[in-house]
Amino acid sequence: MTSTADQRMTGYELLHNPRLNRGTAFTEAERRAYGLEGLLPPAVLPIGLQVARRHDEISNLHDDLQRYLALSDLQARNETLYYALLMSDPATYMPLVYTPTVGEACQKFGHIFREPRGIYLPITARGRLKELLSNWPEKNVRFIVVTDGERILGLGDLGAGGMGIPIGKLALYTACAGVPPQLCLPIVLDVGTNNQNLLEDPLYLGLRRRRVRGDEYVGFVDEFVEAVQALYPRCCVQWEDFATINAVPILARYRDKICTFNDDIQGTAGVALAGIFAALRLSKSKLTEQRFLFLGGGSAATGIAELISQAMVLDGMDIGEARSRNALFDINGLIVKSRTDLAEFQKPFAVDRELIKTFVDAVKALRPTGIIGVSTVPKLFNQQVIEAMAEFNQRPIIFPYSNPTSRSECTSEEAYRWSKGRAIFASGSPFPPVDIGGRTFVPGQGNNVYIFPAMGMAVFATEASRVTEEMFIVAARAVAEQVTEEDLASGLIYPPQSRILEASLHVAERIAAYIFDKGLARVSPPNDIEAFIHERAYRPAYPE
């Protein structure tokens, strides 16, 4: 039967409420009781057949953006069916609701906009942010994913069009880890855009002004955080796709004050560390024996480098030595101590040697065991680089993590072919299997989806007061321990995305145990953490 909420809503209104609508799954008795007779075709179809129909519709479309739009329309009509479809085949639908398709959707946001979703907070409303947030109908918001749209994936400043990122991320919170969708709120902080093409586009939906900087920006973000804390005191805030100049200081400002994390810094670091833990099983070596060279010197690179360093410390290494094993290379060359253009967050990883201007020369000089690309510049892991890595590593770690696919530092085929099949590979965007010398390699995708939904589920279940750095190390180990020997034999260093829910709930259990152990939970610890997590996971089904 329908829920109490359904009984207050009938007829046409009920069919247009995405959280309550069941479409053709409403029974004949329900149709009579709630004034739906004549508003639906007479056939009653269970949710399984509804999923099959939607899958058939989407598979017959020939363009991923059209598939993205079809899924968005479904989410706006019938939320339960939307998540049932996503969770029926996550490996197929995750690339459609998030990377790489979401990048194009954000670029074309003003041209494909159909129905509003989430909250837009323009800086012109400063002083009234709590009032605007209060317009959201759900009063028990537990997760906010927020962006200011300045650094969307590797695509740059997309302004208000960045809303596609919080919407997509929160869909994955639910589809991949069972976080109840009604508790999630996507938000854009609109402080303008420096993208001239958008400013001149008559269909652009954001503020037509240059980006606000400095004290005015900081005050605006402060007001946002205060409004969230006042309205949703148990809410966790995830910062997403902020430019480095804002991402690093925002995280530093709030990480010890509220429940918050930055997925580009900490989630990316967690999934990279998970890949490294699995890679070490292939190379038969220890974490403390590794050296990494990062292509990119921004917040993602330093976030990964710092988490690797902290994990090395847990294995007994001094923090100074651990950081010295993680070097950065940016647009101006190797980050060395003598450079005068370094940001404070880069300095812990500056090496004491002469400046090196080309990446391949840095590889030859530093002889890293792994290279990690977070540059958003494609093709910089070229043949010279991969061959150099293979020359002094039996199993070189090659992680081109930049998104979307067009920004990847190399392809899986390039990494495997140029290393003669010896590379341990993972990328930020998906690549198809590769045949080299009669052997098939299945490239892993170092997707943050292995980390942030599970983190969200653990925080939701435990009502954690903080998200700490060590929680991401716990998450990384929990991801890596699920990679089977069979997975490793094919080159796969992450669990298959086809079983992402199972993997995420396992990771959530490990994080929740840590939260309880460290006294960060706001609920009492259960006797059985596994059951505790599973009982709270959302399952897309119509009420009986």
Spell out the alpha helix ranges (H) of 89-134.
Answer: 90-97, 101-107, 109-112, 129-133
pLDDT single digits (tens) 24-64: 999 999 999 999 999 999 999 999 999 999 999 999 999 99
Q: Is 56 exposed, middle or buried (0-12, 13-18, 19+ CB in 10 A)?
A: exposed
**Residues 100, 406: Cα–Cα separation, whole Å:** 9
Q: Which domains does the chain have, with CATH numbers?
A: 1-45 (1.20.1370.30), 101-258 (3.40.50.10380), 262-544 (3.40.50.720)
Question: Quick one: pLDDT at residue 3?
Answer: 43
CB 205 within 8 A of CB 118: no
Q: Give the residue-averaged pLDDT of 109-120.
A: 96
Token pair for 443: 């490239």
SS3 427: strand
**The one-letter amino acid at 382:** N
Q: Please identify which residue in the block is written with the tokens 């998200």.
A: 467
Please check the confidence at residue 2 and state whether its pLDDT lies above 80: no
CB 2 within 8 A of CB 34: yes
C-alpha R_g of the chain: 24
**Residues 348, 174: Cα–Cα separation, whole Å:** 37
Q: How does residue 154 score in pLDDT terms, banded at 50, 70 and 90? A: confident
Question: Would you please indicate which residues are annotated as catalytic (active-site) residues?
Answer: 98, 169
Q: How does residue 156 score in pLDDT terms, banded at 50, 70 and 90? A: very high
Q: Give the residue-averaged pLDDT of 311-331.
A: 97
Question: Quick one: pLDDT at residue 464?
Answer: 98
* Cα–Cα nearest to 244, from 405, 109, 374: 374
pLDDT single digits (tens) 5-24: 445 789 999 999 999 999 99
Token pair for 140: 């028990």
pLDDT single digits (tens) 460-493: 999 999 999 999 999 999 999 999 999 998 889 9
* Cα–Cα nearest to 423, from 443, 448, 445: 443
pLDDT single digits (tens) 206-240: 999 999 999 999 999 999 999 999 999 999 999 99
Residue 367, CA distances (Å) to 139, 195, 284, 325, 444 in order: 54, 39, 18, 11, 24
Could you tell me which residues come within 8 angstroms of residue 332 by beta carbon, excluding any fewer than 6 positions away? 339, 341
CB 244 within 8 A of CB 149: no
**Residues 329, 490: Cα–Cα separation, whole Å:** 31
Q: Please identify which residue in the block is written with the tokens 């159909």.
A: 114
pLDDT single digits (tens) 173-211: 999 999 999 999 999 999 999 999 999 999 999 999 999
Question: Quick one: pLDDT at residue 181?
Answer: 98
CB 460 within 8 A of CB 510: no
CB 283 within 8 A of CB 395: yes
Query: What proportion of the chain, given as a percentage, has pLDDT over 70?
Result: 99
What is the DSSP code string of 168-212? HHHHHHHHHH---GGGEEEEEEE-----HHHHT-TT--S--SPPP
**Residues 195, 201: Cα–Cα separation, whole Å:** 10
pLDDT single digits (tens) 400-436: 999 888 899 999 999 999 999 999 999 988 899 999 8
DSSP letter (8 states) at residue 378? T
Could you tell me which residues come within 8 angstroms of residue 414 by beta carbon, excluding any fewer than 6 positions away? 381, 383, 386
Backbone angles phi, psi at 119, to 5 degrees: -125, 135
SS3 255: coil
